[in-house]
Amino acid sequence: MTIFEPAMFEPWSVIAANLPEHADNAIHTDDGARAAGFDGALVAGVTTYAYLTHVPATAWGRSWLSSGGADVRFLHPVMDGDRVDLVRDDDGDGDGDGDGEHPQPGRVVASVAGEVKVRARFTERGEELADRSGSPLEPIEFVLDASWSDYGFRAGDDCPLYADLGVAHPTSWPRLANRFCHEQLVDGAWIPVRSRIAHHGLARVGATIRATAVVADRFDSRAGERAVLDVRISSDGSPVASVEHEAIIDLRP
């Protein structure tokens, strides 16, 4: 398995911004976020993930898009207008296996003013996610258009890879997991908290996408009720991604 060598990693910064399509989740508007106890609009987690994918996409290119993996955890909200700095995660991922002197391979953080907001671990070869049983949700099916390829560009990422290949941006897969949550599980403000993603192939613009999901777990937490989804996605009948996705679906103020 290829890992991030120092020469492969290029630190990168961007000003976080919400896209218009996220206004249907009130947490991504100033009024809705303040009603939930925040100071202003939270940037969509999938947009923050789009920024993080700049690192493996520029380091590994097509190989990561077609067969790589990611494990991303949202620790604190990123606010609209924040400057987000992507740097190597020299302290590990919070599980005690990093000592600051031996950076963990493939680990990247998104920080704002020095505070870590998101941690991610990327691999050029994704780990297969085991199927989980649970309550099935209604499948989602649609034809992939350019809005699923240029998502990163619209959010502020200048990586040209997706346009050059004419394929779905890697945010497409947690976006679909979010769509299951938004359309079938929640009524008000909600927040994604983590995703494990495995890529199985490329999805080209014009392909028919079919996504299925089950609710593998539901439980209560201090922040509200949480759900864990197992999502499977195909493009023209061939598997392209699997996602284990956890979100707070009933957010407590």
- 64: CB partners within 8 A, 6+ apart: 56, 57, 122, 124, 199
pLDDT computed for residue 177 by the predictor: 97
pLDDT computed for residue 6 by the predictor: 45
pLDDT computed for residue 90 by the predictor: 75
Nearest-angstrom CA–CA distance, 18 and 226: 23
3-state secondary structure of 82: coil
Amino acid letter, 8:
M
What pTM did the predictor assign?
Answer: 0.87
pLDDT confidence bin for 105, thresholds 50/70/90: low
Residues 182-203: tens digit of each pLDDT: 999 998 778 899 999 999 999 9
Nearest-angstrom CA–CA distance, 4 and 161: 19
Neighbours of 2 (CB within 10 A): 15
29 pLDDT higher than 60: yes
pLDDT computed for residue 101 by the predictor: 45
Compute the residue count for the chain: 253
pLDDT computed for residue 92 by the predictor: 58
95 pLDDT higher than 80: no
End-to-end CA distance of the chain: 43
pLDDT computed for residue 39 by the predictor: 85
Contact indicator for 142, 233 with CB cutoff of 8 Å: no
Contact indicator for 44, 28 with CB cutoff of 8 Å: yes
pLDDT computed for residue 195 by the predictor: 97
Domains and CATH numbers, the chain: 12-251 (3.10.129.10)
Residues 114-162: tens digit of each pLDDT: 999 999 999 988 778 888 899 999 999 999 999 999 999 999 998 999 9
